[in-house]
Amino acid sequence: MASTLLDHFTLFLIFLLVIITKVQSDNKVFNVINFGVVADGKTDNSKAFVDVWKQACAYSGRGVVLIPKGTYYASSMVFNGPCKGQTLFSIEGILKAPIDKKDWVGLESWISFRYIVNLEISGGGSFDGQGSYAWPYNDCQTNPHCFQFPTSIELSFVNQSLINSIKLINSKNFNIKVFGCQDTTFENIQITAPPTSPNTDGIHIGSSTGIKIFSSSIATGDDCVSIGPGTDNLLVSGLACGPGHGISIGSLGRYPNEADVTNLVIQNCNISGTSNGVRIKTWAPSPPSNVYNVTFENIGMNNVDNPIIIDQQYCPFETRKCGNGASSQVQIRNVKFNNIYGTSKNKVAVELKCSPSKPCHELSLTNINLNFPGGATSSCSNAYGTATGREQPPACI
């Protein structure tokens, strides 16, 4: 009997060794230094990076693009799939974006990953957007013909992938844009930019499903996470947010035929020193669409201007005529605010400003504890739902 068990165990070890050996043999590292990339922070390595990517992407096993420690410069790059096997973009060094206006103005993105399944971006390194060279030109709040500023990393139609343990610094515009993606996870992402940097949203998501963001920190001049039309089945958990504009659904209703925003969970987050906490914002007037099945829960607020806010009269740009009695046609329903606590910088800690023609329905406030010296208050219009448990400030729905 003992001999039989030993034989089975020996066979198992042999089988495991074969599997490990196969995995290792399927792993091929393409060190960019071996392909002519120069780590001097000045030489434009974009063509060499793309050439290395093509070789790794064409490898039938696990192709690894390795960017070792050092400082590298690259202009705009597009990394296309599909790839034959899994592709890993491993950045250990610092990658710097262009600073000359002619090399970035009008570009949609600095680095794009497109049409890839089973991509991994990791390595602990940094993407430096060098945004301070671009921000002075950003007058988009008042100029309808302003420049287009590039997102640092764009993921388009990237599915079943992992972005883990990377840093983004001083993006010229959005840091990460997620479009048309499925079942992709972000974990241990660190994003930083000055609080005065314009439009530097941390992670912007649209037309995507099954996106997860875990255990990350975002401190920028705009939304930590912004959630656009067509986002479904999103989970954000363990995010440290601030400074910036908080976590925002929207803005929605700016364009015709926007897809609905559904099935979102934002939980176990800490928001500090931001202009908003958890927010839903829609334009007025707007074409019709829907936001439903949203849960904000277990979220701490520290000195936040507007900890809980629904704003269906959002219209920040001086270049667009808003209001004039018209109202948002975005229907908001089944939104839960559970266990939201901490301190408000404004007396009105809960503001639910819903559309008069499409009132908010099925709102739920449970165990709200937001403090302001002298007592916080709530403000509601066209907002319907229930309030249970502790309500500080007293609920107005």
CATH number at residue 307: 2.160.20.10
Give dist(CA 89, CA 93) in Å, integer. 12
In percent, how much of the chain has pLDDT > 90?
88
**Given this model, what pLDDT does residue 320 score?**
55
pLDDT tens digits, one per residue of 299-350: 999 999 999 999 999 987 654 566 566 899 999 999 999 999 999 999 999 9
**Given this model, what pLDDT does residue 41 score?**
97
**Given this model, what pLDDT does residue 317 score?**
61
pTM of the entire structure?
0.93
8 is catalytic: no
pLDDT tens digits, one per residue of 86-117: 999 999 999 999 999 999 999 999 999 999 99
* Residue 119 C-beta-side C-alpha neighbours within 13 Å: 28
Residue 277 contacts residue 304 (beta carbons within 8 Å): yes
**Exposed, middle or buried, 40 (CB in 10 Å: 0-12/13-18/19+)?**
exposed
Rounded average pLDDT over 131-150? 90
1, pLDDT greater than 90 = no
The answer for residues whose C-beta is within 8 angstroms of residue 15's C-beta and 6 or more apart is none
Tell me the residue length of the chain.
397
Residue 84 contacts residue 58 (beta carbons within 8 Å): yes
Smallest Cα–Cα separation from 339: which of 248, 269, 249, 242? Answer: 269
Secondary structure element (H or E) that encloses residue 389, with its range: strand 383-392
Give dist(CA 160, CA 185) in Å, integer. 8
Does any domain span residue 379?
Answer: yes
DSSP 274-310: BSEEEEEEEESS---EEEEEEEEEEEEEEEESEEEEE
Give dist(CA 293, CA 390) in Å, integer. 23
**Given this model, what pLDDT does residue 321 score?**
61
Work out the pLDDT band at 143, boundaries 50, 70, 90.
confident
Does any domain span residue 338?
Answer: yes
Does any domain span residue 117?
Answer: no
Residue 382 CB coordination number (10 Å): 18
Work out the pLDDT band at 220, boundaries 50, 70, 90.
very high
Does any domain span residue 188?
Answer: no
The answer for residues whose C-beta is within 8 angstroms of residue 24's C-beta and 6 or more apart is none
Does any domain span residue 19?
Answer: no
Please provide the average confidence, as pLDDT, over all residues in the chain: 93
Cα-based distances in Å from 306 to 218, 282, 351: 18, 16, 8
Residue 250 contacts residue 222 (beta carbons within 8 Å): no
**Exposed, middle or buried, 51 (CB in 10 Å: 0-12/13-18/19+)?**
middle
16, pLDDT greater than 60 = no
**Given this model, what pLDDT does residue 11 score?**
53
**Given this model, what pLDDT does residue 241 score?**
98
User: Residue 386's domain spans which residues?
Assistant: 223-396
Strands in 247-252's sheet, in edge-to-edge order, are 77-80, 109-117, 151-159, 176-179, 203-206, 225-227, 247-252, 276-283, 306-314, 348-353, 377-381
CA 373 to chain centre: 33
Does any domain span residue 143?
Answer: no
Count how many domains the chain has: 1
Work out the pLDDT band at 192, boundaries 50, 70, 90.
very high
Identify which has the larger pLDDT, 12 or 70: 70
19, pLDDT greater than 60 = no
**Given this model, what pLDDT does residue 324 score?**
64
295, pLDDT greater than 70 = yes
**Sign for the pseudo-dihedral over CA of 58, 64, 70, 71:** positive
Q: Which of 13-17, 60-64, 160-164, 184-188 has the lowest mean pLDDT?
A: 13-17
**Given this model, what pLDDT does residue 328 score?**
96
DSSP-derived 3-state class of residue 101: helix
Does any domain span residue 289?
Answer: yes
- Across the chain, how many H-helices and E-strands are there? 2, 28
Does any domain span residue 232?
Answer: yes
Q: Which of the following is catalytic: 8, 145, 204, 245?
A: 245
Work out the pLDDT band at 8, boundaries 50, 70, 90.
low
Rounded average pLDDT over 262-272? 98
DSSP 203-260: EEEES-BS-EEEEEEEE-SS-SEEE-TT-EEEEEEEEEE-SBS-EEEEEE-SSTTPPP
25, pLDDT greater than 80 = no
217, pLDDT greater than 90 = yes
Dihedrals φ, ψ of 149, to 5°?
-105, 140
